[in-house]
A and B are shown apart, each in its own frame.
Chain A
C-alpha cells in the first residue's frame, strides 16, 4: 500500500496555536450557547447541561488533540507544475491543482492570523470542489507564494472550462 508522496514543506509551527486558540474560542461559544439558557430557564436545565457535558467533552478532545495531529500531517508544496497539499487529522486528503488549471490564488488573514503572523493561502480552479486551502503559513511566505504562483500561472493557457 504505497501512499501518495508527501509534499515537501511542513506548515509553520505557529499553526498549532492558531488551531488551538480558534478551537478554544469555538468551545467557549458552544458552552455559552448551552449553559446560559440552562442557568436562566429552569425547565430545560437538565437537558441543556447534559448536552453541554457530552458536546463539551467531545469538543474539548478535538480542540486539544487535532492541532498537534494536524501539524504533523499537513504539508504543502508549490512547484513549476502544480500546487500540492496534504491535510486532515482523522481523515487524510492529498490534493493537486495543476498550474495550468489555477484560476486564482489568494492569501487571507483574519485577526487571529494577524496576531500570530500567519496567513491562509487558497488556490481556486474552475471546479467548485477543487479549492486547495493551505492553513498556517508564515504571512511573508504566503505573500511570496501568492506572488510567485500568480506570476507562474500567467504564463499558462486555458483553465479547462
Chain B
C-alpha cells in the first residue's frame, strides 16, 4: 500500500515537473511548480495517513472498518445491509497485486453517498473478503427472514476459483473458461464447470462506439484543450489557425479543406474512441456464477468487476441512441435494488458495452428469465400508443428549446459580435425537428404485462424500461400546465431500484389514473375501506 502511494505521489508530481520545465526557472514559474507539487502530494500523503492503521474485520454480523492515526474513524455496516461487493484495480494497484473493494449497501441509497470502499487490499484477500461478505450478507438476510436465494451455502466455492489472480493479472491470468473445458485436469474442471459464460467480447461492437457522439466529442475536447494548454508549451494554436485559414483556405477549393477538416476530426475521434473502448472492455466476460450471481470482469489497464444479484434484479433498461439504432445496436442496463444512483451511473457500473439488439434481448431473457425484449414486443403495435396530443407537446417542447438556442446565438451576435451565420443552425433545426418530434411521438408507448411495466420514449436517445411491479414502491400522476391544456399526464413509478423512478410520458389523464391504480394502488380510482385518524374526520371535511 505504501509503495502504491509512493508511485501515486511520483505520478502526481509529473504536472509540477512539467510546469517547472515549461514555465522555466523564473520566479513565478518555480512558485507555480511548487504549488502544483505541494497540492499533488496532499492526496498520496492523506492516503497513507488514512490507511496506515487501517483494519477491517467481520464480527457479530457486521463489517467494521477502522482507519486513521490522528482521527480514528470507525465505520460499521450490518452484513444484511450489504447488497453488492465489487472489485476493481487501477494500474498502480495492480503492480502490487492490490485491489479496491466497493461495498454497496441499501442504506446509503437514499443519501446518494455511493458506497463504502476498502482501498489497497491484497488482491487474493479482496476476492476472499468479497466471498465472505456476500455469504455473510446472505446468511444475515436469511436469519432476518428476508428473501433468500437457493444455494446460499455454495459461496465458499468461490474462495478457490482463483478470482484474485484473474483480477490482479487481468487478461493474462488463467482464464476460468479454458479450465472449464477440462484442459487442466478433471479436479479443477469439476470445481469450475458451473461458471457459465453468458456474454463475451465481440470486437465488432466497436462499430457502435465509432458511430456515436463520442467520435465527435473527443476531438472537440482535444481542440479545446489545445487552445488552453498549447501556449504553455510554446505552441500557439491561433497561429496554426491563421496559417490554415489564411494560406490553405485561400489556395484550395472549399470542398477539399472542409473535407480534410472533417476527416481529421473524425479520424482523431475514431482513434481516441477505439483506444478508450479497448481499455475499458478488454477481456470482457459476463459469467453466471455457481451461486446464482452474475459477474462482469473487464478492463485492460484498470480491471473492473460488477456483480449482479438476480435476487435484487427488478428489470432492465434498453437504450438505443439514434446513431446506434441505425446499426441495430442497443445497450442493456440492469435495474437493481440496493445500489446508489451514483454507483449505477459510474463507469464501472456498466454491464455491457453497446451490443446488438439481439444480444441485448437475449441477455435480458437470461437475467429476468422472461423474454421481456422479444422482437414482437419491440415491434410497433405491442405497446399501447399515446394520444396524438402527446406528439403536439413534443413539437412544442423541441421548438421551445430551439428558440432558446436561437435567442442565445442572437444574444452572442448582438453583444459579442459572433457571426450571424450561426443563426442558420436554429433555422435548419426548426425544420428538421418536426419529423423528429413526430417520430418521437410514435416511439411513445407503454404496457403492463406479466407483472412488468414496459415504457418507451425518446427519439435521439430512445429508452425502453422494463420494471417489475414487485419492485415499484409508489406512483405519481403529474400534470404540467401544458399537459393540463392538452388533457395529458405523466405517470411516475417510483422504486428503490436503478434510477429510482421510471416515467410513462404523456398518456391521457384517464389512462394515467388507470395505470397509477395498477402501479401504486386502488386509491387513484376508488375509496379505501378504512381511513386512519378517523376521529379527526368530521372536523377535517
B501 touches A127 (CB 8 A): yes
Complex CA gap A161/B312 in Å reads 8
Residue of A nearest to B483 (CB): A91
The segment out of B285-293, B372-380, B455-463, B519-527 that lies at the interface is B519-527
B337 touches A161 (CB 8 A): yes
Interface presence of A118 (CB below 8 A): no
Secondary structure of the B contact surface, majority rule: mixed
Secondary structure of the A contact surface, majority rule: mixed
The segment out of B42-50, B444-452, B467-475 that lies at the interface is B467-475
Residue of A nearest to B111 (CB): A128
Given contacts A2-B509, A96-B523, contact A159 B478 (CB under 8 A): no
User: Which of B484, B516, B528, B536 contacts A4 (CB under 8 A)?
Assistant: B516
**Chain A residues whose C-beta falls within 8 Å of the C-beta of B516 in the assembled complex:** 4, 94, 96
Complex CA gap A6/B112 in Å reads 33
Closest CB-CB distance, B205 to chain A, in whole Å? 33
Interface presence of B255 (CB below 8 A): no
User: Range of interface residues on chain A?
Assistant: 35 or more
**Chain B residues whose C-beta falls within 8 Å of the C-beta of A160 in the assembled complex:** 337, 470-473, 495-496
Among residues 79 to 116 in chain A, which have CB atoms less than 8 Å away from a CB atom of chain B?
Answer: 79-82, 84, 88, 90-98, 101
B481 touches A145 (CB 8 A): no
A127 touches B477 (CB 8 A): no
Complex CA gap A101/B487 in Å reads 30
Among residues 53 to 111 in chain B, which have CB atoms less than 8 Å away from a CB atom of chain A?
Answer: 106, 109-110
A127 touches B494 (CB 8 A): yes
Interface presence of B347 (CB below 8 A): no
User: Which of B496, B523, B524 contacts A159 (CB under 8 A)?
Assistant: B496
User: Which of A1, A4, A8, A130 contacts B531 (CB under 8 A)?
Assistant: A8
Closest CB-CB distance, B163 to chain A, in whole Å? 27
Given contacts A80-B529, A128-B500, contact A91 B479 (CB under 8 A): yes
Complex CA gap A107/B480 in Å reads 28
Closest CB-CB distance, A90 to chain B, in whole Å? 5
Closest CB-CB distance, B80 to chain A, in whole Å? 11
Complex CA gap A88/B480 in Å reads 9
User: Which of B341, B471, B533 contacts A141 (CB under 8 A)?
Assistant: B533
**Chain B residues whose C-beta falls within 8 Å of the C-beta of A1 in the assembled complex:** 487, 508-510
Closest CB-CB distance, B81 to chain A, in whole Å? 10
User: Which of B473, B508, B522 contacts A125 (CB under 8 A)?
Assistant: B473
**Chain A residues whose C-beta falls within 8 Å of the C-beta of B497 in the assembled complex:** 161
Q: 7 tightest CB-CB pairs across the interface, nearest first?
A: A126-B496, A79-B528, A130-B494, A127-B494, A96-B520, A129-B501, A101-B473
Pairs across A and B, CB under 8 Å, 11 listed: A79-B531, A80-B530, A82-B521, A91-B480, A93-B476, A93-B478, A126-B110, A126-B473, A128-B110, A158-B146, A160-B473
Residues of chain B touching chain A, judged by Cβ–Cβ distance below 8 Å, are 106, 109-110, 112, 146, 337-338, 341, 470-481, 484, 487, 489, 492, 494-497, 500-501, 508-510, 512-513, 516, 520-533, 535-537, 540-541
Residues of chain A touching chain B, judged by Cβ–Cβ distance below 8 Å, are 1-5, 7-10, 77-82, 84, 88, 90-98, 101, 124-130, 132, 138, 141, 144-145, 148-149, 152, 158-161
Given A5-B523, A144-B536; 10 other pairs, CB 8 A cutoff: A4-B516, A78-B531, A80-B528, A81-B522, A82-B523, A96-B474, A98-B520, A127-B496, A161-B338, A161-B496
